[in-house]
Structure 1
Amino acid sequence: MIQILIADDHAIFRQGVRRVIEFAADMRVVSEASNGREVLESIRSQEPDILLLDLAMPSPSGIELIKRVREVAPSLPILVLTVHNESELASRTIRAGAAGYLTKDGEPELLLDAIRTVSKGGNYVAQPIAAKLLYDRFDRDAAPHRLLSDREYQVFLRLARGLGIGVIADDLYISPKTVSTHKFRVLQKLGLKTEAELVRYAIRHQLVD
């Protein structure tokens, strides 16, 4: 029996995933978490076989949380289930230690297949993301955004989507001053001067819709 920890800050979504899992005879949900702190506590107390993780939760979250989980439970498979379909974010997530990457618009059967694959030590990436990753692998043009740190990349994507400094600070649980510092470094590393140029850059590289 595959024992699963569901981590997502939306209760309705957690319940929906739980119901999907209940149809599978070989797996069950042993715990739920709505923030990074609860994830780490549940890993220690419940010892799940797999962590089903959303990237956008109260701190710690995202890639930072994946790295923390790897420290606490090095062998625990992490399957990311997110709304973000950018290949660069998927690549960074996998490098941080995730064993799988799925988007929330996928079919329930794909989620169950991914859980089984990852729980056995395999890797699973949604087909559209996998195709983008393969293309990027053979892309010899090292785009500047690949040189951004993980936190800088998180800020970069949110700026590209038009979010303000305050909103980004609340979203990432960091101070507005820290966001502004990251913004300055992002513009500097990408050789850009304005947010408008940043948005055009993100669209040109197909990092946002």
Structure 2
Amino acid sequence: MIRVYLVDDHELVRTGFRMLLQQHTDFSVVGEAGSGEQALAELRKTPADVVLCDLHLPGISGLEVTDRLTRSDSPARVIVVSAQEDGPLPRRVLAAGANGYLGKAAPAEELLRAIRDVARGKRYISAAVAQQMAISSLDTTGSPFEQLSVRELEVAMLLVQGLRMTVIADNLNLSSKTIATHKYHLFAKLGVNDIASLTRLALQHGLAAN
């Protein structure tokens, strides 16, 4: 029996995962959380083999959850399931210790295969994500977004999506002042002065879709 823990701030997504897994006798959903903080607290006392984790969470991000679980004595292996299939994030997540990465558009059978493979000690990267990583590796100049911190990268992506500062603050469970500070730092690191320039740079380096 593979014990699975679900982490996603959207209840409908967790419900969908849970209903899918309950249809198969080799899976057991042992818990779920809507935030990284809640997940880390519960996983200290809830044994799990595989953690399905969203990347964008309020407060602690999925990348931070992955990093903390990897550095702890938890036996749980992490699969990040995210709408973000390109750009620098998949590589950053895998470098942080994730055992799997696939997009939320992946078919159900692929998700089940990923969980089973990771539970057996393998690493699983969806074909779409692997292709994007291979393409980005051909860019010998590197991405300027690599120099951003995890939180700065998250804020940058949300700004590119056109979200207002107050909305980003609510999404990440941070103050508007903190978001403004992250914005200032990421603009300085990337050498941009406005959202339009940030968006063009993000498109150029695969952080956003046309």
* TM bracket, shorter-chain basis: over 0.9
Does residue 154 of structure 2 align to residue 154 of structure 1?
yes
Query: Counterparts of 1:60 and 1:203 in 2: how far apart (Å)?
Result: 26
| Contact in 2 for aligned 1:3/1:50 (Cα 8 Å) | yes
Deviations 1:51-96 (A, max 9, x none): 1111223322321222222344443200111222224111111112
Residue number in structure 1 paired with 2:187? 187
Aligned ranges 1:55-134 → 2 under 5 Å:
55-134=55-134
User: Are the aligned partners of 2:59 and 2:172 in contact in 1 as well (CA < 8 Å)?
Assistant: yes
1:140 aligns to 2:140 (yes or no): yes
Q: Deviations over 1:6-36 (max 9, x none)?
A: 1112222212111211222222111121222
Decide which moves more: 56-65 or 189-198: 56-65
CA contact (8 A) 2:48 2:75 kept: no
Aligned-residue RMSD, C-alpha: 1.6
Q: Is the contact made by 2:85 and 2:132 (CA closer than 8 Å) also made in structure 1?
A: no
The number of aligned residues is 209
CA contact (8 A) 1:36 1:60 kept: yes
Letter in 1 for 2:207: L
1:101–1:158 CA distance, 2 compared to 1 (3 A) = same
Q: Percent identity between the aligned chains?
A: 36
Tell me the secondary structure at the aligned position of residue 189 of structure 1.
helix
* Structure 2 Cα separation of the partners of residues 65 and 144 of structure 1: 24
Contact 2:56 2:154 in 1 (8 A): no
Distance 1:95 1:62 in 2: 13
Q: Report the 3-state secondary structure (helix = DSSP H, G, I; strand = E; otherwise coil) of the residue aligned with 1:45.
A: coil
Query: 1: CA distance between counterparts of 2:73 and 2:23?
Result: 28
State the AA in 2 paired with 1:110.
E
* Cα distance change, pair 115–130 in 1 and its aligned pair in 2 (3 A): same
Q: What 5-or-longer segments of structure 1 have no aligned partner?
A: none
Which residue does the alignment assign to 1:42? 42
Range 113-122 or range 179-188, more displaced: 179-188
Aligned partners of 1:40 and 1:72 also within 8 Å: no
TM-score, normalised to structure 1's length? 0.92
The residue aligned with 2:172 is 172
